[in-house]
Amino acid sequence: MLPDMSSDVLTSLAEQARALDTQHVATDRRHAFELPDGVVYLDGNSLGALSRAAREATADAVSRQWGEQLIRAWNDSAWWSAPERVGDRIAGLVGAPAGTVVVGDSTTVSLYKAVHAAARMRPGRRVVLTDPDSFPTDVHVTRGVCDQLGLTLELLSPADAVARLRGSDDVALASYSQVDYRTGELWDLAALTVAAHDAGALSCWDLCHSAGVVDVGLTDGGADFAVGCGYKYLSGGPGAPAFIFVAPQHLDAFVNPILGWNGHATPFAMSPDHTPADGITRARVGTPPVLGIAALEGALTAYDGLSMADVRRRSLSLTAFFVDAIAALGVDLPVATPREDDRRGSQVSLRHPDAYAVVQALIARGVIGDFREPNIVRLGFAPLYLSHEDALAAAVHLRDVLAGREFERPEHRSRAAVT
């Protein structure tokens, strides 16, 4: 997988990579995934790789459960309780207790439910804070909720939000991403949550780029609400169901803005009156996407026997080593991702004026990352299936793309329909 490496620098880096891989062997789950040969996959923060367990779980859900059990699978294969069962599994990865997480709708719909419910829990307060640099859907959905509820959206960075909250009494909710999707910066969930609580506000966290790679610490950080994505680091498959977390103390007061039969206390009584279910089940809406949940449930078995602390250590080692390696190889692009461990998610973002073409040139070499506006080469390090040797291979390919000015080739500059 590594390109030809003859120099002393490369020899030394390769030794370091092997030593680090040995040191982190206990968290190596590469064997559980079915990555194509010749690919270094650095886009697990956009679409996590397929695992054998996810493939088998989906095939079983289709052929045996759906095909043979048919309608009986709702009981016989426990489809009905799958949203809570898989939610509990995710709860264990994000530092939340059982019974506080449920999977089902898309991330955006989940965030709509969380933000809408949270904002209404602080009547009289008119302001919702969110990050202008959040993934756009977060800004869109939060602005939409504010318009519906007659609230004011203020766009502030996490740092500015802490200052804004200090001494204020008009903020209902601070809704933030734990990791910036572009730069990979990890924000301090506990500190911003404390600032919100000190001002009488609630907090909601988007864990799309932290769940499965960071010690999220929802309970320890005092988070009130959270949502996250099933198809990034959790590797649940394309468009996998998202999850929503509601802290135990808010479950009784949580009012789902989308009242559906799956969130009902007695769904099969078929009553036209809506009595919300106890606990996190009230955050459910419609019939769950069973095939997507099956893939996600299979994928999550890759975490069996691992502690998030160890996964986090591996992740930090991979990204730190990659940054060191490109520096040693003479790649002098600005690194948008913080170097401090406690400020870094599981990606390395580099700035380049031709970032789109750089990414395409890397893809042509089998190193799959992605481009983000305006100038970001984004390389995600899904720790379970990437090694330090992979990181070094990516670094060498990047050096060669830049040295050979491959990003100037016309075929790397033409934009695909979806980037």
Q: In DSSP terms, which residues pair with 102 in a beta bridge?
A: 244
C-beta of 132 vs 353, nearer to a copy of itself: 132
Instruction: Spell out the residues 6+ positions from residue 268 whose beta carbon is closer than 8 angstroms to its own.
Output: none
C-beta of 14 vs 280, nearer to a copy of itself: 280
C-beta of 199 vs 240, nearer to a copy of itself: 240
* Active-site residue (options: 21, 105, 131, 206): 206
CA distance 277 to 90: 21
C-beta of 43 vs 390, nearer to a copy of itself: 43
Q: How far is CA 211 from the centre of its chain?
A: 5
* Active-site residue (options: 181, 231, 321, 371): 231
Q: Please indicate whether residue 232 is annotated as part of the active site.
A: yes
Which residue intervals of 45-135 are DSSP H helices?
Answer: 52-60, 73-76, 82-93, 107-119
Cβ atoms 26, 310 nearer than 8 A: yes
Q: C-beta of 258: minimal distance to a copy of itself in Å?
A: 5
What's the residue count for the chain?
419
Q: C-beta of 80: minimal distance to a copy of itself in Å?
A: 5
CA distance 120 to 97: 24
In 188-265, where do the E strands start and end?
Answer: 202-206, 225-228, 243-246
C-beta of 264 vs 312, nearer to a copy of itself: 264
C-beta of 19 vs 259, nearer to a copy of itself: 259
Q: C-beta of 42: minimal distance to a copy of itself in Å?
A: 10
DSSP string of 304-363, one letter each residue = TT--HHHHHHHHHHHHHHHHHHHHHTT--PPB-S-SSGGGB-SEEEEE-TTHHHHHHHHH
Q: Please indicate whether residue 198 is annotated as part of the active site.
A: no
Q: Please indicate whether residue 135 is annotated as part of the active site.
A: yes
CA distance 417 to 419: 7
- Tokens 């989308």, residue? 258
| Cis ω for the linkage preceding 374 (within 30 of 0) | yes
Nearest to 2 by CA among 369, 389, 404: 389
Q: C-beta of 7: minimal distance to a copy of itself in Å?
A: 31
CA distance 301 to 315: 18
* Active-site residue (options: 125, 164, 378, 399): 378
Sheet holding 347-351, edge to edge: 347-351, 376-380, 370-372
Q: Please indicate whether residue 231 is annotated as part of the active site.
A: yes
C-beta of 1 vs 70, nearer to a copy of itself: 70
Q: Please indicate whether residue 371 is annotated as part of the active site.
A: no
* Active-site residue (options: 232, 282, 344, 372): 232
Q: In DSSP terms, which residues pair with 202 in a beta bridge?
A: 173
Catalytic site residues? 135, 206, 231-232, 378
